[in-house]
Amino acid sequence: MLAVIDYGAGNLRSVLHALTYLGVESIRVIRSPHELRGADRIILPGVGAFGAGMQKLREQNLIPAIKDAVYVGIPYLGICLGMQFLFEYSDEMGHHEGLGLLPGCVTRFPDMPGYKVPHMGWNEIKPTRYSPLLQGIDGGYAYFVHSYYCVPLQQSDIILQVDYGIQVTAAVQRDNIYGVQFHPEKSQRTGLKILSNFLEIER
């Protein structure tokens, strides 16, 4: 069973539509910790503010359940804000703790001539190492919408980068933990392939 966590984030419907298009039949929308039982993989989508999103997860008591699932090896895919949640903290509108599953932080893009914030639209993704999430993907373009970006402490966690005035982490992996900063559900063939690859990852 594929668990898609619903904590009020805005892109849930488009993610579910993409998964249905890929032929996924066993999908459960999760709003409470006990509903995660029996999940063999987890997707945490999300858009919006980091602090507000983490507060929603706390209110629904989902944080311990998510961590427990990850610790026993269940594949996790965070999308956009769901990837940012993986890290220790964000400085978006204050200091907000994340899930702390990966070392690093989330910070705002610096002011750079010629580069608007948010980083919005299509950009070229470039693999930095092999990952099962990138099977059959040598590059391509993905759709981004974000004003804050992830800064992993371990370079080995980075599997995709994108150039936006600086080198920005576009995707990460450590063991069964995966995250993409872009929206695969809006990234056409490349995005659908990434989602399909995640669905085929074994524990």
Continuous H helices in the chain: 12-21, 50-59, 63-71, 81-84, 188-200
| Cα separation, 14 vs 78, whole angstroms | 15
Establish whether 80 is a catalytic residue. Answer: yes
Of 25, 119, 185, 202, the catalytic one is 185
Catalytic residue among 96, 119, 146, 183: 183
Active-site residue identified among 17, 25, 80, 202: 80
User: Rounded CA gap, 122 and 51, in Å?
Assistant: 26
According to DSSP, the β-strands at 96-97 and 89-90 are antiparallel
Report which residue type is found at 110: P
Structure tokens belonging to residue 192: 């659908």
Strands 76-79 and 177-180: parallel
d(CA 25, CA 198): 15
Residue in 26, 3, 165, 163 with CA at minimum distance from that of residue 78: 3
Active site residue 185: yes
Residue 150 among the catalytic residues: no
Which residues are tagged catalytic?
80, 183, 185
